[in-house]
Amino acid sequence: MVTISKLNPTQLESIKQILTLRYSTNLRILSPKLLPVNFHEKQIDEPEKFVEKSIRETISQEIGTNTGKIGISLSSGIDSTLILALLREEYPSNEIESISVKFSESTDETDASQKISEKFQTNHHILEIDNFLEELPKAISIVKQPFWDLHWYYLVKKMKDLTNVFLSGDGGDELFGGYTFRYKKFIELTAENSTTREKIIAYINCHERDWVPDQEKLFHPENKFLWDDIYKILEPYFDNSLSPLTQVFLADYNGKLLHNMQPLYSSIHKHFDIQNIAPIQNKRLLQFSCEIPNRLKYDSHTNSGKILLARLLEKFNVKHLVSLKKQGFSVNTINMWESYGKDIFLYYFDKSRLLEDKIINSDWIKQYASKDDLNVRYVNKLLGLLALEIWYRLSVTNDIDAHEKLQK
């Protein structure tokens, strides 16, 4: 007997994409997609000056004559530090409220952000999150999508207590080559004569934390998963005449930035009625990022990324404080799972609506949910399924309240 799904085909498609790529092409995009034709290298004199001028102008145009407090999301990475440095020069007299996030049982990089804060004279706040999942129902009710990694919700909620406008360094990785681990692996997995399909598979293999080896078994047989559907999404980025590394830049921009971060963050900003300024994502820099040579983004010999942004940052004498490999705020999912995530998951999957309605394969859940010493890829996938269960109960079965707290 075939079950009549409570989800429409678009919703089912989005779920498969989110649980495989961590983004959905069905989300409304807020910036233009990039096409292969957008990438054409130009001779650019003094590229650092162009980037600096563009960021400065974006900051001053967006903030205007505001004499009040200005916020900034501050990790210890290149992007947010550069934005803070330029913000401080543009607004030397304003109070700046900086926030860094500290997750329990995860790598703590707030000492570095504290020193960066002192350098640029901000009022620094460390947001400590003990239970990352506690307010997941509320966060999901805002973004209306089944994502679990919504640290931005906590950060913006805190920021709203301090100011009505804040800046962030989002977009630096996608536009200027920050995912060095991905580029290195992609180059190792491909050759000059690699086919489009081989490059797509290599690219997916550079995103191992987004899917699991038995991905096709994750879904109920009535909700069949096909890798070909995923390959079709990525095909336009690798079936063209661009260099392989440029193809990765194209796929990265059109992936999580466009179909995850931008729409989700925008929903959170709207909910808290706060203005976010992401100067690196201005239209001039988007076009500029397609015109600079790849050597100004990534150096394969040293496995260094964001070459151009790092050079620009040198003038502010903070390179010794900045983590060049920083990838934004990140939680240790293994520790979180073992501390409280597993218990929360088992509670909600004891009578899972996803299993009852044949969206997810119950045999797959039984195989991994109670297992000890899980590989991090499976932990990440189970957290993704927890978010999907919460979203399903909020949006489909309507048997959970957005204010419900997830606690051990």
> Would 28 be classed as within a structural domain?
yes
Q: What is the mean pLDDT of residues 382-386?
A: 99
d(CA 208, CA 22): 11
Average pLDDT over residues 360-387: 97
Position 381 pLDDT exceeds 80: yes
Candidates 305, 276, 319; CA nearest to 115 is: 319
User: What is the pTM assigned to this prediction?
Assistant: 0.95
How many structural domains compose the chain?
Answer: 1
The percentage of residues in the chain with a pLDDT greater than 90, rounded to a whole number, is 90
Kindly state whether residue 51 falls inside one of the protein's structural domains: yes
In a domain, 179, yes or no: yes
What CATH number corresponds to the domain at position 117?
A: 3.40.50.620
What is the domain range of residue 3? Answer: 1-331
Judged against a pLDDT cut of 70, whether residue 288 lies above it is answered with yes
Q: Does residue 357 have a pLDDT over 80?
A: yes
Whether 2 shows a pLDDT value over 50: the answer reads no
| Average pLDDT for the chain | 95
Q: Tell me: the pLDDT tens digits for 214-248?
A: 999 999 999 999 999 999 999 999 999 999 999 99
Residue 218 lies in a domain: yes
Higher pLDDT, 318 or 108: 318
Let me know if residue 73 belongs to a domain. yes
Task: Identify the pLDDT of residue 327.
Answer: 56
Whether 384 maps to a domain, the answer reads no
In Å, how far are 44, 97, 266 from 142, measured between CA atoms? 42, 24, 10
